[in-house]
Structure 1
Amino acid sequence: MIFTTVDRKSSKSLTQQVYEQIRNGILDGKLKEGQKLLSSRELAKIINVSRNVVLEAYHRLLAEGYIEVKPRSGTFIAKGTSLEHIGAKKLDIEKKQKEELEDSIIDFRGGNPAIDHFPRKKWGDLTKKICNESPQSIFGYSSACGIQELRDVLVSYLRRARGVHCQPEQIIITSGATQGLKLITELLITDKKRDYIAVEDPVTDEMRNIFTYAKAEIYPVSVDENGIIPELLPKEKPNFVFVIPSHQYPLGGILSIQRRLKLIEYARRMNCYIVEDDYDSEFTYEGAPVPAMQGIDQERVLYVGTFSKILSPALRIGYVVLPAHLVGEFQKLKWFTDRHTSTLEQHTLARFIEGGYLDKHIRKMRKIYQERRLVLVNSIQKYFHQAKIIGKAAGMHLVVEMAGIDFKKELVQKIKEKGVCIYPVEEYSIKKGEHTQKIIMGYGGLTPEQIKKGILLLRDALNEYKG
């Protein structure tokens, strides 16, 4: 018998404690099928409880099928009640080892924000205030478009910060930019046999997967260090052109005003839309941020933004700014997808922006990311003299080109085994073979010390590979 004692100070009843210890012993395999249990009188005496406590626990175990009573023989563990834990324990050990390994790896994934700087106290204070002081109505169902308070503050914030021109009615709050882009694709792709999307190449695999999941055809348009190349746009009308003009992912180019105007002229001529993903435009370290394309043409540009990169990926709030004539159909799609985005978080975010806390947080993070970028650039230049750094001084990542090194899967795996995760640009390319010597290096979620150590490990891994 596995019993040791019961805790009389526990909030659990004595009967519950006896029941749980026997049941867990059976499930863990410590009590085997067919094994005889002590009589209720013997067990009660050993653990110093009344016999009724043990009888009640036994009756419950009997009712649930864990034990069986054989007349004149006693009480036994029933057949079919033990779980095979050998394999499970092995998996648990392997999982723990894998988690420990992952925790020790320095991950240069692009787009990872510095979650250690999330403004917990202010966010918590605002959330508590909203829960305590707001009317009961905020705890009910809300509009699929999002709460009015957040849409109102977004109008002034986006006009001031990004040059976006819109009315609150044109904004629909989404569960992150991913949902916004998915709904846009569903809205604008009507004939899956004929419709297609012109997409920057290379482009983040998340965006590409959204489009292909919707069974949309993709027309890749090459980008250079200055963003998408308008002259390479398709001659036939696409349903929309997808661009990240503020800091192209992954190559990091900022689309010039000349290219922006060419792109808008193209959309007007082709009678199609431009979908502008503006995911980390707040972080520019040289000069002023270039205003959004939506500010130039509100009828042709659908503007997508998110707070996942500014604040935290855990905050699943994004938004889409739509031409007025598309709002109704988009709202229906949003409603049928998830009814509405978390209302409480929307209220907190509205207060956070209105109180000036978002602007303050962005200023703080801009300094932190600029410092981390400088550490990364200096470390690369110190240990990789021939490396070329690609991308403007913006966002949370840059691209490094290392001549003579082909970042194939085998090499990437060997580097990971040394404790560093890097991401070849080639993995994000639709047309293969053009970016084999380039890797993405994100710095947003890494401390300066991690960045320095990561570059040293990368150098050692590449030297060993070459040797």
Structure 2
Amino acid sequence: MTDSWAAFGADLHIEPVGAGVRSGLINALREAVRTGRLAPGTRLPSSRTLAVDLGVARNTVADAYAELVAEGWLTAKQGSGTRVAQRAAPRRPAARTARSRQVRRRPAYNLMPGSPDLSAFPRAEWLKASRRALTAAPNEAFGYGDAQGRIELRTVLADYLARVRGVDADPERIVICSGFVHGLMLMGKVLRKRRVKEAAVESYGLDIHWNLLSEAGLRTPCLPVDGLGARTGELGGMRGVGAVLMTPAHQFPTGTPLHPDRRAAAVDWARSASGLILEDDYDGEFRYDRQPVGALQGLDPERVVYLGTSSKSLAPGLRLAWMVLPEGLVGEVCEAKGGFDWMSGTLDQLTLAQFMESGAYDRHVRAMRLRYRRRRDQLVEALAERAPDIRVSGIAAGLHAVLELPEGTERSVVQAAAWQGLAIEGLSRFRHREAAAGRDGLVIGYGSPPESAWAGSLDALCRVLP
């Protein structure tokens, strides 16, 4: 049998260092073992193979191996080849050890907002859809494809969004992107190219979204939020604002749906100011107490950019989201997308299309809606029994609730939760840097825990409340 890399040993990336080929090779191999890049027990290429790879004489490699065997770095046995010796793991530098001590322990319970129950991902149905998608995929689907995304997914999405969210959608005005953040990055680039200087944001929200717009060169003045949602009537007085980022169906994190009068005011502003509304419909499918509030986009498809995602309905790890755009923006967004990421993964797009077309997506959303509603009800009942002074709001929809705390207690409650191994987030964490000081509270993500950890998470929460 030919002694080659295909049959024996590992393919190495070794560059001799120092004076002399032999000593340089010894130094490189010794360093690779010392740092752990070559793990104990790793079989090395034969001296002939490594000599060919490095372009050196075979005797040079054989002598280097022999030297390292003598030093104890390698072992050589008849029929077993040359291997890295079974030595203790390399000791890590003291500085790294010190840093590792600063890493927090993984919390025992997680009630952070922003994630669904990942343990409920429909693996079996997704696998079926993936097989169907792979079988039916045309050869051209494995190329670079269309920057808008696969037409199969855009077609299914257009029907679904019209049926479930009241979106005025057409496949030719939909662009698939790799998550909401990717879509917002694209819009930031497009707005800046259009010479927009400011994009208003709600006074409560996610700083990662505000920062993305800032990094695109836009100022992000904040629009106050109260019990009726964002005060959109104030947009007219915000000179220089050419766009506004909003969560109309279920304001994040306060949970307030935008009042009908304020929805109309937002659209009126966009029309009169030639502005754009960026609608973040992050959890619009999860409404429990009445029919879902339709998307704002339906009021004026040429003034609203609708952004939806599978992150809450399925899993954020899929990195699949969609934008329904005014007709005149499609080309600009596709051009911007070419600079960031030409397209999202084809097979995942085709799988989601199959998953939705088969009805599995609807069934999954309905099942999760029942699960989350049950958790919400259990949260409300537990608080009524064990913390009756705590007011709960924002619970008509979504995967989180806001718990109002006595003034001045938010920080101490979050710290107490951390000591108890419970991950929670304070309401102030989501307040815009320019917003006025607000009430103390907690934003409790009841969608996050797996089913097995839900009861324990709820009990841990009640223990730390004042």
Structure 2 length as normaliser, TM-score? 0.80
Other-structure match for 1:87: 92
Report Cα offsets for 1:202-235 as digits up to 9, x if no partner: 1122211211222311111111233111233351
Other-structure match for 2:419: 417
Other-structure match for 2:225: 223
Q: Does 1:131 align with 2:134?
A: yes
Other-structure match for 2:39: none
Report Cα offsets for 1:255-285 as digits up to 9, x if no partner: 1222111111121122211111101000000
Q: Contact between 1:68 and 1:77, CA under 8 Å: does it hold in 2?
A: no
- Secondary structure of the 2:337 match is helix
Report Cα offsets for 1:65-121 as digits up to 9, x if no partner: 965659xxx94468xx9999322699589869958x31x431211121111111111
Any residues of structure 2 matched to 1:316-355 within 5 Å, and which? Answer: 316-355=319-358
Letter in 2 for 1:226: L
2-structure distance, mates of 1:55, 1:149: 54
Q: CA deviation at 1:315?
A: 0.8
2-structure distance, mates of 1:55, 1:271: 72
Other-structure match for 2:401: 398
- Secondary structure of the 2:350 match is helix
Other-structure match for 2:298: 295
Letter in 1 for 2:250: H
2-structure distance, mates of 1:407, 1:152: 46
Q: CA RMSD in A?
A: 3.5
2-structure distance, mates of 1:239, 1:65: 71
- Secondary structure of the 2:331 match is helix
Other-structure match for 1:368: 371
Segment drifting more, 366-375 vs 382-391: 382-391
Q: CA deviation at 1:360?
A: 0.8
Q: Does 1:188 align with 2:188?
A: no
2-structure distance, mates of 1:147, 1:372: 36
Other-structure match for 1:260: 263
- Secondary structure of the 2:221 match is strand
Gaps of 5+ in 1: 1-11, 17-21, 31-52
Q: Contact between 1:248 and 1:254, CA under 8 Å: does it hold in 2?
A: yes
Other-structure match for 2:446: 443
Q: CA deviation at 1:358?
A: 0.9
Segment drifting more, 237-246 vs 226-235: 226-235
Other-structure match for 1:27: 33
Segment drifting more, 203-212 vs 113-122: 203-212
1-structure distance, mates of 2:349, 2:169: 19
- Secondary structure of the 2:282 match is coil
Letter in 2 for 1:63: V
2-structure distance, mates of 1:257, 1:149: 34
Q: Does 1:407 align with 2:405?
A: no
2-structure distance, mates of 1:164, 1:87: 56
- Secondary structure of the 2:316 match is coil
- Secondary structure of the 1:122 match is helix
Report Cα offsets for 1:275-330 as digits up to 9, x if no partner: 11101000000110011111110111111111111111111111111110111111
Q: CA deviation at 1:143?
A: 0.2
Q: CA 1:287–1:436 in structure 2 vs 1: closer, same or farther (change >3 Å)?
A: closer
2-structure distance, mates of 1:269, 1:234: 9
1-structure distance, mates of 2:148, 2:64: 52
Other-structure match for 1:63: 61
Q: CA deviation at 1:448?
A: 5.9
Report Cα offsets for 1:384-438 as digits up to 9, x if no partner: 2211112141010011111134323x65334212111111111111135533511
Q: CA deviation at 1:363?
A: 0.6
Q: CA 1:460–1:364 in structure 2 vs 1: closer, same or farther (change >3 Å)?
A: closer
1-structure distance, mates of 2:376, 2:205: 21
Identity of aligned residues (%): 31
2-structure distance, mates of 1:58, 1:357: 53
2-structure distance, mates of 1:67, 1:222: 71
Q: Contact between 1:407 and 1:436, CA under 8 Å: does it hold in 2?
A: no
1-structure distance, mates of 2:331, 2:296: 23
Count of equivalent residues: 417
- Secondary structure of the 1:172 match is strand
- Secondary structure of the 1:373 match is helix
- The equivalent position to 2:144 in structure 1, one of 141, 144, 152, is 141
2-structure distance, mates of 1:136, 1:195: 44
Report Cα offsets for 1:128-173 as digits up to 9, x if no partner: 2322343322111110001111111111111100111132111111
Structure 1 length as normaliser, TM-score? 0.80
Q: CA 1:54–1:441 in structure 2 vs 1: closer, same or farther (change >3 Å)?
A: closer
1-structure distance, mates of 2:446, 2:244: 29
2-structure distance, mates of 1:363, 1:335: 36
Q: Does 1:269 align with 2:272?
A: yes
Letter in 2 for 1:416: A
